[in-house]
Structure 1
């Protein structure tokens, strides 16, 4: 998870005092991916991103794609 935080701070050029948190959620509803990771960046206002992968499976390329979509 530390590597994910490092990538996020670098990609978004975040200041060190800004917190980043991760929540891994499971979905049991039809059509919903089985695992989703929510990434919350505690700026004002907070920013939230979602990736349909487990935390351990997220790669730098996933983050690049996620943040470029914004």
Structure 2
């Protein structure tokens, strides 16, 4: 039940770096990454949600319909700026 493999820390850091590069995210902003599984109809089986929390309290979310381990720099580059 709880023996899900944890994502590689290097992979997570790479994804954060892709976002920092694309969106020019400052060091003071916290980026968090969560992989979610959905069991609802018409829902992707796994999606990754990336959240930025700025020092001023604003947040932005992006969703990529893939597990963390499958996300590439291209996936981040292909996100639209209004996908948050």
TM-score calculated relative to the size of structure 1:
0.89
1:9 aligned counterpart, secondary structure: helix
TM-score calculated relative to the size of structure 2:
0.76
- Unpaired runs of 5+ residues, structure 1, are none
Paired with 2:22 and 2:48, the residues of 1 have a C-alpha distance of 18
| Residue of structure 1 equivalent to 2:58 | 45
Shift of 1:22: 0.6
Paired with 1:13 and 1:69, the residues of 2 have a C-alpha distance of 12
| Residue of structure 2 equivalent to 1:5 | 16
Look at both structures and tell me which one has the larger radius of gyration over its CA atoms.
Answer: 2
RMSD: 1.1
Question: Number of residue pairs matched?
Answer: 69
Runs (4 or more) in structure 1 with deviation over 3 Å come to none
| Residue of structure 2 equivalent to 1:19 | 30
| Residue of structure 1 equivalent to 2:75 | 62
- Unpaired runs of 5+ residues, structure 2, are 1-11
